[in-house]
């Protein structure tokens, strides 16, 4: 049994809890004991009948593994840094219904939800968050700290940069999407998107920013 704490106490954290609960109840090779949630930006004291910790110092056992339950890249990176500085390590969670090719490579701390398909020679960086029913084609490259929402299709050979957020039902063809981008829901990305851009529409048009971009709440 592996003790874990889920970072975040919002909607995405609830979904991550459901994945772990499903793994515990079914055929997973690993079993997890959820100690609670951590969120220093909420007024909640409990979530799904578990304690919400607000101070890292209150988590006494440094052997507890950390599971990412925050969707927005900015908030996620801040929490990761805090916990790694205190010596905590991240646990990778992959739903049993998801298929990951043995020829794909995934970095540390990934959370991949149900019914996803990750094809051969896909390369995914650290701290990857992926919702349900996502397909990632062969030879795609995805950077660090990326969040993908449900029902997204990424074509083989596509490249996605670090800290990028991809909205529900977006389709990304064999193009390059830069770092620190937001891809709108249901968008069709059929041409390259520069760093620090927002892209939306069918086909998508992008709006560059001044080097700053906000991903909203957790």
**Model pTM?**
0.93
Domain that holds residue 60: 2-91
Residues 102 and 85 in one domain: no
3-state class (DSSP) for residue 35: strand
Q: Which CATH number characterizes residue 87's domain?
A: 3.40.50.20
pLDDT of residue 133: 98
Tens digit of pLDDT per residue, the chain (218 long)?
Answer: 899 999 999 999 999 999 999 999 986 677 999 999 999 999 999 999 999 999 999 998 889 999 999 989 989 999 999 999 999 999 999 999 999 999 999 999 999 999 999 999 999 999 999 999 999 999 999 999 999 999 999 999 999 999 999 999 999 999 999 999 999 999 999 999 999 999 999 999 988 776 666 655 55
Residues 172 and 144 in one domain: yes
What is d(CA 188, CA 173) in angstroms, rounded to the nearest whole number? Answer: 8
pLDDT of residue 210: 66
What is d(CA 37, CA 22) in angstroms, rounded to the nearest whole number? Answer: 17
What is d(CA 112, CA 93) in angstroms, rounded to the nearest whole number? Answer: 6
Residues 32 and 129 in one domain: no
Distance of CA 189 to the CA centre of its chain: 20
């Amino acid at each position: 049994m592996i003790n874990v704490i889920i970072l975040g106490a919002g909607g995405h954290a609830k979904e991550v809890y459901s994945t772990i609960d499903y793994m515990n109840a079914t055929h997973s090779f690993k079993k997890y004991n959820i100690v609670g949630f951590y969120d220093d930006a909420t007024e909640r004291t409990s979530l799904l009948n578990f304690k919400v910790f607000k101070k890292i110092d209150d988590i006494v056992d440094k052997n507890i593994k950390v599971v990412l339950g925050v969707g927005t890249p900015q908030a996620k990176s801040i929490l990761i840094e805090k916990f790694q500085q205190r010596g905590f390590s991240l646990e990778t969670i992959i739903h049993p219904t998801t298929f990951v090719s043995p020829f794909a490579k995934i970095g540390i701390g990934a959370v991949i939800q149900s019914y996803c398909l990750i094809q051969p020679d896909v390369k995914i960086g650290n701290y990857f968050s992926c919702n349900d029913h996502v397909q990632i084609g062969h030879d795609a490259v995805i950077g660090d700290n990326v969040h993908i929402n449900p029902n997204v299709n990424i074509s083989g050979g596509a490249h996605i940069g670090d800290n990028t957020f991809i909205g529900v039902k977006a389709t990304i063809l064999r193009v390059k999407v830069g770092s620190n981008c937001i891809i709108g829901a249901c968008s069709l990305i059929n041409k390259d998107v520069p760093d620090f851009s927002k892209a939306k529409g069918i086909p998508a048009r992008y709006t560059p920013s001044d080097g700053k971009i906000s991903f909203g709440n957790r």
